[in-house]
Structure 1
């Protein structure tokens, strides 16, 4: 049985041409297995978000290969899948620094948005959404508006939304940056629990070294390549 969640081989990303050319990543490789929670750390501008967006089928690589599970989605210089948007909707969950909840929809409506867009009947989507909101201890806030919730509650709602389509992979871009340490640790513990219980491969971009002990592996971008570490020196944070 294939336990790979994310596999990247020799990924290169170049922006611009000629004298304006910038190589962000060059022959970068990594693997995150199902059930693993990985942190991605590097100095600002090193390409963390770009790497996440390429894995998430949002940004096109210049060359290399990307597998999501056992499916090859990018092969050297082209998509090897018909519709990258379908992969994003069905296999991926995204969490960002800001929660990006739609302010004129209540929490339940925000969470069911992706599954109903994917054709899931509303009643089934609402049942799953309530299970997720209860899991994150905000079931009683289902009919509240985002403006009525705290920052930590909104971020939990955003995580519930990211899980609403039962993703195989979750990509989190600094999901705790706007939270105090106590709330940040709670969110990271939730992500680790999700990875283990649901066998989801999770990559989290973070600058906070205090959160690294909660992760299974550390991915660092060094000299435009990805290095897997068990510990990260302070200069990379």
Structure 2
């Protein structure tokens, strides 16, 4: 496995049910994603996009196959780590269509919540949170509640929260679906900047064609397998 590889999947299978109720969702999917890449995951509704994302994120257990995150094999027909929650906390940041910020906490408190749960000191967690808010150009909103922010601002806070533990991988599920055109493009540009500058691999599930030109690759679920389409740099706006 290449030292630049962030995610490697080999012969991954996911079925639901059994016997007459067996539903085959993913069959023998194999692919590799490099650090610093932004990959759009597309497929019709019900084709298994979120299921694939959650398997990579160690949330849903595959039926069989292999998954590497960085240099560590985390799944080989069973989870190889006793605590998959630790893998999620240490290696992966999640971003969703809805920001899911805790409504009774302010912006800074939302971002520091997970690091402090991982035994990072309050001082260190706040310093990191403020660095992220500066990076995402919303440091002036640190003490605001989510109800006081726009949709785009809340999604930036959600991105900051996903970055709070210095993840190697970000998994985003329809992160721009609730945003208008300008805000959607702003968010995907921000994710691309993060991927490049922090060497983070990002997979984003999307139906939003507006963001595809900003991705490095398009990954399609086709006939339950994976097909890649690379985007040429000159075509990226």
The TM-score bracket by the shorter chain reads over 0.9
The question of 1:56 aligning with 2:54 is answered: no
Match of 2:29 in 1: 28
Would you say 1:104 and 2:136 are equivalent positions? Answer: no
Q: Name segments (4+ residues, structure 1) moved above 2 Å.
A: none
CA offset at residue 230 of structure 1? 2.4
**Aligned partners of 1:176 and 1:209: how far apart in 2?**
10
CA–CA distance in 1 between the matches of 2:92 and 2:7?
11
After superposition, the C-alpha distances for 1:95-138 in whole angstroms (9 at most, x for unaligned) are 00000000000000000011111111000000000010111111
Q: In structure 2, what is the equivalent of residue 14 of structure 1?
A: 15
Partner of 2:47: 46
Matched, 1:123 2:123: yes
Q: Distance in 2 between matches of 1:31 and 1:190?
A: 23
1:161-176 equivalence runs, <5 A: 161-176=161-176
RMSD over aligned CA atoms reads: 0.8
Give the whole-Å Cα distance in 1 for the aligned partners of 2:120 and 2:179: 33
Consecutive unaligned residues in structure 2, runs of 5 or more: 232-237
Q: Once the 2 structures are TM-superposed, how far is the Cα of residue 23 of structure 1 from its aligned partner?
A: 0.3
Q: 2:18 & 2:215 partners in 1: Cα distance?
A: 37
Q: CA deviation at 1:82?
A: 2.1
Q: Which residue of 1 aligns with 2:82?
A: 82
1:235 is matched with which residue? none
TM-score by length of 2: 0.96
C-alpha distance in structure 2 between counterparts of 1:172 and 1:31, whole Å: 17
Give the whole-Å Cα distance in 1 for the aligned partners of 2:176 and 2:213: 15
Aligned pair count reads: 230
- What secondary structure, in the 3-state scheme, does the structure 2 residue paired with 1:79 have? coil
Aligned mates of 1:199, 1:42 — CA distance in 2 = 26
Displacement of 1:30 in angstroms is 1.3
Structure 2 Cα separation of the partners of residues 85 and 28 of structure 1: 24
Question: Which secondary structure does the structure 1 equivalent of 2:154 belong to?
Answer: helix
- CA drift of 1:140 comes to 0.7
TM-score, with length taken from structure 1:
0.96
> 1:73 maps to which residue?
74
